[in-house]
Amino acid sequence: MAGNSASLLTKTQRNRIRDDFDELVEEKKRRDQQRIRERIRSGLFDFHLLADYPDRQFALTFDETPDDELRTALADTTLVVERLRELHGIDRAEVIEEARTRAETVSDATTGTETLSRVELRTAAEIRRETEAEVKERVGTGRWDTRADRLAKLGASAFIPLALIGIFDWYVSGNLLGATAPVSSLLMAILAVSMIGWLLIVAAQALKHDVLPAFRKLMRNPEAAVRGAVTNLFEDPKETLRESWEEL
C-alpha cells in the first residue's frame, strides 16, 4: 500500500478520494479534483521515463512488498490503464503496437532492461490465432472444418468429371451430354448440394468469428472500431493481406 513517501497522490488527496470528498464545499471539492487530475496526468507521462528504468531498481523498489499486495496493485494499475484507453477511444491493438516499438527502441539504447525482451505484447487477434493453432495441433481440425473440407472435395470430385464430359461433348461428340444425362444430372446435383453446404458452413463460421465480434466492438465503441479498421487497412496493407491469408 502507499506509504508516507512522495507518490502520485498526496496523503490528503488519498484521504479525499477514500472519503469521496465528504464534508467539502463544492468549490473546494472542484479545486481538489482539479489538482488530482493534474497529478494523474503528470504521473502518467512520467512513465515515459520509467519505461527503460533498470530492472535492478524495480526489483529493489518492491523487494519488501508482499506478492499479493504487488499483484493487487498491478491489477488496479491495469484497470486504470484500460479505463483510460476506453474513455479516449484508443484501440488496444494500437497501444500494443506502440508498446512494441517503445520496447525495441529502449532495449537497444539501454542496458539492465532484460525484462523488456521477455514482456509478451500480443493483440487479441494474435492471441486468437495462436490459440486456434494450438487447439488444432492438439485435437486436430474442428468438426465443422472437416465437414466443410469434405463437402469441398465432394464438389470437386463431381465437378471434374462433369467438366470432362462437357469438354468431350464440345470437341469430340455432340451427343455425349444427352447420352450421359442421368449421370450428368447426378453430378450437377452433387456439385450444387456440396457447394451450398460448404458456403453455409463458411458463412456461419465467418458470422461467429468475424462479423459478430466486429459488430459487438462497433456497438461498444464505434469510434475506436472504425479507427482501428481504417488503420489496419491503410497503414500497412501488406501486413493486413498477409494476416488475412494466414487466417484462411
Q: Assess whether pLDDT exceeds 70 at residue 190.
A: yes
Greater model confidence, 30 or 110: 30
149-189 pLDDT per residue, tens: 888 899 888 888 888 877 877 776 666 666 677 887 888 89
pLDDT the model gives residue 210: 78
Residues 6+ apart with CB under 8 A from 217: 224, 225
User: Which cell numbers hold the place of 244?
Assistant: 488475412
| Domains in the chain: boundaries | 11-125, 130-247
- The pLDDT value recorded for residue 221 is 74
* pLDDT (average), residues 62-89: 92
The mean pLDDT value of the chain amounts to 81
- Predicted TM-score of the model (pTM): 0.52
pLDDT score recorded for residue 238: 62
C-alpha cell of residue 35: 489538482
Query: What are the CB-based long-range contacts (under 8 Å, 24+) for 12-21?
Result: 13/39
Q: For residue 119, which phi and psi values (nearest 5 degrees)? A: -75, 125
Q: What is the pLDDT of residues 119-145, one digit of tens each?
A: 878 777 777 777 776 766 665 556 778
The pLDDT value recorded for residue 229 is: 64
Residues 104-123: what's their mean pLDDT?
A: 79
Whole-number Cα distances in Å, 142 to 137, 138, 148, 194, 214: 10, 11, 10, 18, 22
* pLDDT exceeds 60 at position 227: yes
Q: What are 153-164's pLDDT values in tens digits?
A: 998 888 888 888
